[in-house]
Structure 1
Amino acid sequence: MARELARELLEQPLPRRWAHTRGVAEQARSLNELLGEEADLLEAGAWLHDIGYSPTLRDYSADLPITGFHPLDGARYLRLVNVDEALCSIVAYHSGATVEADERGLREELEDAFESPPPHLLEAITYADMTTGPDGTHLPVERRLSEILERYSPDDLVHRSITRSSPELTAAVQAVEKRLAEVG
């Protein structure tokens, strides 16, 4: 279900975002042994984490207030179509979303709307996202962060958000890599 929904919302209007999403889902699958029974939830979150970028969501604007903040917009859409709340929270909070929500003045709105996922799932979705480039290739977290910063000017709120959240994002990736090494 998650893959098909992501494909419907991203493949045609945003092919590069779709390539990234496929790579993030692949990284999420690499954590199956680590996550056990929660692996399917994480993979679904990986497929859906960026649907908030889809221009198709504007079609639901009467029922869905579009903020321009993709984690919140995506999670609200998922709730609108009756997706499990645990999955909505992974989408809402993925990859440093609280910092960007703060930059946008939407942190209270995010926190009022959705519960934060358990820390290990938040680290796992961050790992999958922050080790996947925009074309779906896998890369070190430091390169991914640099790539994002290169796309946005220093005065852009995404640049500021990534700069502020880089230590947290890097720590999340390192925590997952450490657990993977212990299991492997």
Structure 2
Amino acid sequence: MTTAGHAYELAEALLSESLPRRWAHTQGVASCAGRLAPLVGKGAETLEAAAVLHDVGYAPPRVDTGFHPLDGARHLRTLDDGVLRLVANHSFALLEAEERGLRAELADEFPLLDDPLLVDALVYCDMTTTPDGGRTTSEERVSEILGRYGADSVVGRFIRRAAPEIHASVGRVRSAADEAGLAL
């Protein structure tokens, strides 16, 4: 099993110096995953490890295709299958992969994890965390991404397509947390 501690070591080595803002975002996403631990139960360690590793594909030595979910997962191939599949498919990456002509490649190498709660939980953590690691809403996060990349960019086209799914995932996690009496 891939531990969160091991994931932190890997991510920090890849992101902290070369991409400090991305590292701050990663730490915020991981902190959110820790808050969701009671909700995801036995999947808590997998969620936290994936949260810590979800953006390692941005690290300069790991960039191959330029599509960070795929590049990151390929770098992490020795880790647990659940962590790999969450990293590769985080935040509706299949939609962005389609924009980049990489959908079949991503889907074949790293099929979507068959655990809707863990998938939604990682979307929630990523899409309610600012680039600097603070808390935000999914609506504000989608707007921030659009502003940063531009509406006509690959990322802009992807995020507009993914926005309804992102907001639905966030809503499902909030509902599940409310039902469990968990304050987010």
Shorter-chain TM-score: what band?
Answer: over 0.9
Tell me by how many angstroms 1:52 deviates: 0.2
In structure 2, distance between residues paired with 1:92 and 1:119: 15
Structure 1 portions without partners, runs of 5+: 59-65
SS state at 1:165 partner: helix
2:3 equivalent in structure 1: none
In structure 1, distance between residues paired with 2:23 and 2:71: 17
Structure 2 portions without partners, runs of 5+: 1-5
1:76 equivalent in structure 2: 74
Which of 95, 106, 111 in structure 1 is aligned with 2:107?
Answer: 111
In structure 1, distance between residues paired with 2:35 and 2:27: 13
Report runs of 4+ in structure 1 exceeding 4 Å deviation.
none
Matched, 1:144 2:141: yes
1:161 counterpart letter in structure 2? F
Which of 170, 175, 183 in structure 2 is aligned with 1:173?
Answer: 170
2:97 equivalent in structure 1: 101
2:56 counterpart letter in structure 1? I
Which of 54, 58, 63 in structure 2 is aligned with 1:53?
Answer: 58
SS state at 2:76 partner: helix
TM-score, structure 2 as length reference: 0.93
Tell me by how many angstroms 1:131 deviates: 0.3
Instruction: Give CA deviations for 1:124-160 in whole Å, capped at 9, x if unaligned.
Output: 1000000000000011111111111110122201000
How many positions carry a matched residue from both structures? 175
1:125 equivalent in structure 2: 122
Tell me by how many angstroms 1:56 deviates: 2.1
TM-score, structure 1 as length reference: 0.93
1:125 counterpart letter in structure 2? L
